[in-house]
Chain A
Amino acid sequence: MVLSLNQKAVLLSLLLLVVGLLVWEAAIPAQKPLSEMTEYERLTGGGAQKAGVPPPSQVIAKAWEQLSNPFYDAGPNDKGIGIQIGYSIYRVLTGYLLAALVALPLGFLIGMSPVAYRALNPFIQVLRPISPLAWMPLALFIIQDSEASAIFVIFICSIWPMLINTAFGVAGVRSDWVNVARTHELSALRTAFTVILPAAAPTIITGMRISIGIAWLVIVAAEMLVGGTGIGYYVWNEWNNLDLTSVIFSILMIGIVGMLLDSAFGLLQRAVTYAE
């Protein structure tokens, strides 16, 4: 039987997964049962449970337990994974949408006007490399609200790729297409929406895709700092509980949600991409 390229890839992926899990499982040293210990070992506390990296079987069991009831709420330190992820997504999307509301029009302006580009470029170049978490103390002091500060951090980290890509995309629209709009006497607003926006859309969406990726990276760190709710807080809380199984499980969940966010933008990107 001849397998297609995709089928081969899927088989190889599954094989790698199984091998990886087996190696992980085998690499965890088994704890000696109490009966096999010497008197001395027992006296020095060898019988107590040692904290260790959990084997994958435990993580899978944990995942099953958590995912079968993701939205339970049993007090401030015991919420289901669904609720925690929900909080994180809410913060990411709020900060992200605010950033888009600022970055897209501003990027358009910068892309259309060489003067605006030169005037704003120094600010962008200085503000862009600042780690978003460096804003946190200032945000906490000025906003005085941890929730809003987390959203602000998301805002400030996702604005730059969107801003720069929008400006770049708009400035790079082929002059032929702008000339088509000019010879058809389109107003500035119609030119912007019917020619420049679709022409620059692939570049703009690429910027938005980079931004959402960064925002999802940053939210975990931000929530570790501000605490309370969210997947970042969950990871840190489980670390304090020394529950490594939950830590590993939540790390996986962060990856999966990040992948889903990225593929949503991947679909959007495919929808606006055109071949020349």
Chain B
Amino acid sequence: MEIDVKFFASLRERMGRTSDKVTLDGDTATVSDVWSQLSSEPIPNNILVAVNKEYTDLTQELKSGDEVAFFPPVTGG
């Protein structure tokens, strides 16, 4: 399956890119599997996850075409 990935703020700078595409083998995959394809380091503790623009966590199962975003704590307002 193909997953669109986005990074924001300090994590975007750390990853050196604003977006990426990940291809995973098999019919089932989680957000955690996507991260493993992107980096050999574990995901930093404070990083938040969204799938299709809704907050979720690393255990969420994905389907092809999903948009997964990784970003640090939000600081608006």
A and B, one complex? Answer: no
